């Protein structure tokens, strides 16, 4: 079973101070996990501050995206903020 530790993080397209990881789940659903300045995340420097390494993040902003690139959730545009590594493992389990 996939878990948070299986997500590979890189610099987000927004640039320095932002990271993103993508994980493909069953049925082609993608789990997007981001953290950084202005995002619903937290790290060593505080809430919604710059994060350049996943080790420095304590919570993340998460979205589920279907095969057509649409957000899965209420009103098709929801993201989940302040998700811990355990919260993300639970989301992966639910959608796998």
Digit-by-digit pLDDT tens for the chain (96 residues) are 899 999 999 999 999 999 999 999 988 999 999 999 999 999 998 999 999 999 999 999 999 999 999 888 866 568 999 999 999 999 999 988
Q: Which two tokens stand for residue 82?
A: 């302040």
User: What's the total number of domains in the chain?
Assistant: 1
List CB contacts of 69: < 8 A, sequence separation 6 or more: none
Burial, 33: exposed, middle or buried (Cβ in 10 Å; 0-12, 13-18, 19+)? buried
pTM given for the model: 0.93
Question: Closest Cα partner for 95 from 1, 7, 10?
Answer: 1
- Could you list the residue range(s) of the whole structural domain that residue 84 is in? 4-94
Q: Looking at the chain, how many residues does it have?
A: 96
pLDDT at 95: 87
């Amino acid at each position: 079973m996939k878990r948070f530790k299986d997500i590979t993080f890189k610099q987000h397209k927004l640039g320095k101070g932002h990271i993103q990881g993508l994980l493909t789940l069953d049925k082609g659903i993608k789990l997007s996990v981001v953290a950084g300045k202005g995002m619903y995340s937290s790290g060593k420097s505080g809430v919604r501050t710059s994060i350049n390494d996943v080790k420095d993040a304590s919570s993340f902003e998460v979205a589920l995206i279907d095969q057509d690139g649409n957000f899965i959730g209420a009103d098709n545009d929801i993201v989940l903020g302040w998700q811990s590594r355990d919260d993300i493992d639970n989301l992966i389990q639910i959608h796998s």
